[in-house]
Amino acid sequence: MRRLLLLAVSLVLTCSAASAQSSQPYAGLEQRPIKALSHQQVDDLRAGRGMGLALAAELHGYPGPSHVLELGDRLDLTADQRVQVQRLFDAMKQETVPLGNKLIEQETALEDLFSSRAVTSESLKTSIAAISETQGQLRESHLKYHLPTAALLDQSQMQRYAELRGYQHPDSSAGHKHSH
């Protein structure tokens, strides 16, 4: 009986805590300088990091230059491949860092519109359109460098890359093996 009572009390407390958390999902976010962006997102944007923007390419067999460089030794990249992938990476950074900074500025401007209570339907529409355009440019800048990077790797390097990134196991094949 005592165990049952303890279990019931524990369950009630757990449910109460979960309910309190779910009713305050934004608690603490009001302290962010830019409410829509975490500190990590701001850092990633400033550094030109991908932030998952190129997952459509990455998860369909189009490796990105950053990860290929990180895995270069394990992929047995040739000296020429390293040079070419480094050039792609550098070019990508040249595009993505300014776009990331632009997006931060645009989000800050949107933040200012709301915090100053100066936002109007028109200023909101204009601000969101600009942010959306920059987000699209940023995503394209990350995605497009996956195409030439993939073209530089041979089939065994592509397979090894997928294995190293955890996308497939070394003993798996493209199809399912069934025994009937």
Q: What average pLDDT does range 55-75 have in this prediction?
A: 97
Over residues 136-177, the pLDDT tens digits come to 999 999 999 999 999 999 999 999 999 999 997 555 444 444
Contact assessment for residue 35 and residue 113, using Cβ atoms and an 8 Å cutoff: no
pLDDT tier at 101, thresholds 50, 70, 90: very high
Region of 71 (left: φ > 0; alpha: ψ -120 to 50; beta: rest) is alpha
Sequence-separated (6 or more) residues with CB below 8 Å from residue 65: 85, 86, 88, 89, 92, 145, 146, 149
Q: Which residues contact 57 (CB under 8 A, 6 or more apart)?
A: 64, 143, 146, 147
Nearest to 97 by CA among 43, 151, 143: 43
Give the pLDDT score at 102: 99
Least confident of 26-35, 40-49, 124-133, 153-162: 26-35
Q: Give me the mean pLDDT over the 96-110 stretch.
A: 98
CB 36 within 8 A of CB 29: no
| Least confident range of 87-96, 120-129, 152-161, 162-171 | 162-171
Name residue, tokens 């009713």. Answer: 23
Rounded to whole angstroms, the Cα distance separating 166 from 115 reads 43
pTM strictly above 0.75: yes
